[in-house]
C-alpha cells in the first residue's frame, strides 16, 4: 500500500488497524503500534497523517523551506528542544519529559483549541523531518532526533521524486476520475511542500502516462498495465474503515454505489444519520449499507443499516457471520471479548 491513514478514534478499533486487517494475514488490533519499531515504516504526513514505508518517506524529505515556527525566539526554543531530544539517544524522549524541562506553556492549535506548546513544537519538528517517532507509549508519540543527507536535488531528480509520489497515491486510490485525480495529487502539497509549485506539472504528466477510459462522460484513470476487466469480486462481506482506500473518495463512492456515505464522528449526535463510527458494509462488489460495531459486556454487537433492504440470499447471512467472526478474532483480548 505504501501508506495507511491513521485516526485516533477506536470504535471498535483505530482506522489504521481496521484498514490493515483486510490486507495482513492474522492481523490483530494494535499490531501496527506494537510492531512499529521493528517495521520498515515511519509515522508522517502523506496526503493525510498516517504510516508510510521508509521508501516513500525518503521521497518526501528533506522538507525544505522557511521554518514554520516563524519568530526568532521560537526558533531558539526549537533548537534547544532538538538538542535535548538528541541527547536522549535512539531510545527517544517522552513529550512530558521535554515539557518538564522547558515548561513552554500553551498555544492555540490548528482547530482553535489550546495545546501544549511543547507538543506543538515537537509536531512541527517532526513534520520538518528533524524528529522521528520511534514508538508510542499508551498512544503518545516518543521522539528521537533525525538527520537527513544535505545537498540540493537537481531538476531531474526533483521531477522523478514527485512523479514517484504521484504514482504512489494513484496506486493506492485508483481508479480516479479527473476530479479525484486532481484532488489526491494536489494533496501532495502536504507530503512535499518544498515542491508545491511543481505539482500542477506533475499532475499533467500523470494524465499522459496513466491508463484512461471514458465512461458515461467521465474520464477515469488508473496505473498503466492494470486491466480492471480482469478482476472479479469475491463472494464476501467486509466491514471497511471510514478511510479505507476503497471508500476514501466520497464522490467516487456515490458514482459506484448511488448513495452518500458520511463520517459522522464529529457530527452532533442529533444530526447523525448513520452513526458515530459507521463502517461501510461491502457485499461482493457493492457497498450496500453500514455497521456500527461495539463490544459490550464481552460480546460483539453489530448494528447494521442498509440503503435498500438486507440481502435475502443465504450466502449473505453466511458471509456476514464469517466477517463478524473475523472481527472478533481481530479485536481479541484488546477489547475484552469472550471467546
The answer to whether the CB of 98 falls within 8 A of the CB of 84 is: yes
Q: Quote the pTM value.
A: 0.89
Instruction: Cite the residue boundaries of each domain of the chain with CATH code 1.10.10.10.
Output: 72-145
CATH of 155-229, one of 1.10.10, 1.20.1550, 3.40.50, 2.60.40: 1.10.10
Are the C-beta atoms of residues 333 and 24 closer than 8 Å to each other? no
3-state secondary structure 248-288: CCHHHHHHHHCCCCCCCCCCCHHHCCCCCCCEEEEECCEEE
Q: What confidence tens digit (pLDDT) does each residue in 234-286 have?
A: 899 999 999 999 999 999 999 999 999 999 999 999 999 999 999 999 999 99
pLDDT tens, position by position, 313-328: 999 999 999 999 999 9
Determine contact, residues 213/220, Cβ cutoff 8 Å. Answer: yes
3-state secondary structure of 86: helix
Pick the CATH number of 72-145 from 3.30.360.10, 1.10.10.10, 2.115.10.20, 3.40.50.2300: 1.10.10.10
CA distance 74 to 125: 12
Contacts of 92 (CB under 8 A, 6+ apart): 85, 134, 135, 142, 143, 144
In this predicted model, what pLDDT tens digit does every residue of 15-25 receive, in sequence order? 999 999 999 99
In order along its 339 residues, the chain shows pLDDT tens digits of 999 999 999 999 999 999 999 999 999 999 999 999 999 999 999 999 999 999 999 999 988 754 444 444 455 778 888 899 999 999 999 998 988 887 655 544 443 443 467 788 899 999 999 999 999 998 899 999 987 766 678 999 999 999 999 999 999 999 999 999 999 999 999 999 999 999 999 999 999 999 999 999 999 999 998 887 777 888 999 999 999 999 999 999 999 999 999 999 999 999 999 999 999 999 999 999 999 999 998 899 999 999 999 999 999 999 999 999 999 999 996 655 665
Amino acid at each position: 500500500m505504501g501508506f495507511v491513514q491513521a485516526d485516533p478514534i477506536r470504535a471498535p478499533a483505530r482506522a489504521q488497524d481496521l484498514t490493515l486487517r483486510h490486507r495482513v494475514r492474522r492481523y490483530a488490533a494494535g499490531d501496527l503500534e506494537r510492531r512499529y519499531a521493528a517495521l520498515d515504516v515511519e509515522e508522517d504526513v502523506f496526503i493525510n497523517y498516517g504510516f508510510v514505508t521508509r521508501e516513500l518517506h525518503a521521497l518526501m524529505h528533506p522538507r525544505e523551506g522557511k521554518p514554520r515556527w516563524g519568530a526568532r525566539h521560537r526558533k531558539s526554543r526549537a533548537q534547544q528542544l532538538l538538542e535535548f531530544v538528541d541527547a536522549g539517544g535512539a531510545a527517544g524522549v517522552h513529550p512530558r519529559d521535554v515539557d518538564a524541562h522547558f515548561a513552554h506553556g500553551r498555544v492555540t492549535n490548528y482547530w482553535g483549541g489550546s495545546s501544549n506548546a511543547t507538543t506543538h513544537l515537537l509536531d512541527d519538528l517532526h513534520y520538518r523531518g528533524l524528529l522521528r517517532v520511534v514508538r508510542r507509549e499508551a498512544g503518545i508519540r516518543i521522539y528521537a532526533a533525525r538527520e537527513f543527507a544535505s545537498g540540493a536535488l537537481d531538476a531531474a531528480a526533483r521531477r522523478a521524486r514527485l512523479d514517484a509520489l504521484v504514482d504512489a497515491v494513484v496506486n493506492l486510490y485508483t481508479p480516479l476520475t479527473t476530479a479525484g485525480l486532481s484532488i489526491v495529487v494536489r494533496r501532495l502539497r502536504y507530503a512535499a511542500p518544498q515542491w508545491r509549485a511543481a505539482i500542477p506539472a506533475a499532475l499533467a504528466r500523470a494524465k499522459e502516462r496513466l491508463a484512461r477510459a471514458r465512461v458515461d462522460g467521465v474520464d477515469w484513470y488508473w496505473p498503466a498495465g492494470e486491466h480492471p476487466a480482469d478482476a472479479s469480486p469475491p463472494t464476501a462481506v467486509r466491514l471497511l474503515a471510514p478511510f479505507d482506500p476503497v471508500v476514501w473518495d466520497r464522490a467516487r463512492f456515490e458514482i459506484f454505489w448511488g448513495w452518500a456515505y458520511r463520517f459522522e464522528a464529529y457530527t452532533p449526535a442529533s444530526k447523525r444519520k448513520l452513526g458515530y463510527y459507521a463502517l461501510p458494509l461491502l457485499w461482493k462488489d457493492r457497498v450496500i449499507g453500514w455497521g456500527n460495531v461495539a463490544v459490550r459486556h464481552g460480546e460483539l454487537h453489530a448494528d447494521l443499516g442498509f440503503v435498500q433492504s438486507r440481502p435475502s440470499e443465504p450466502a449473505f447471512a453466511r458471509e456476514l457471520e464469517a466477517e463478524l467472526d473475523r472481527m472478533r478474532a481481530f479485536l481479541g483480548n484488546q477489547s475484552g471479548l469472550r471467546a
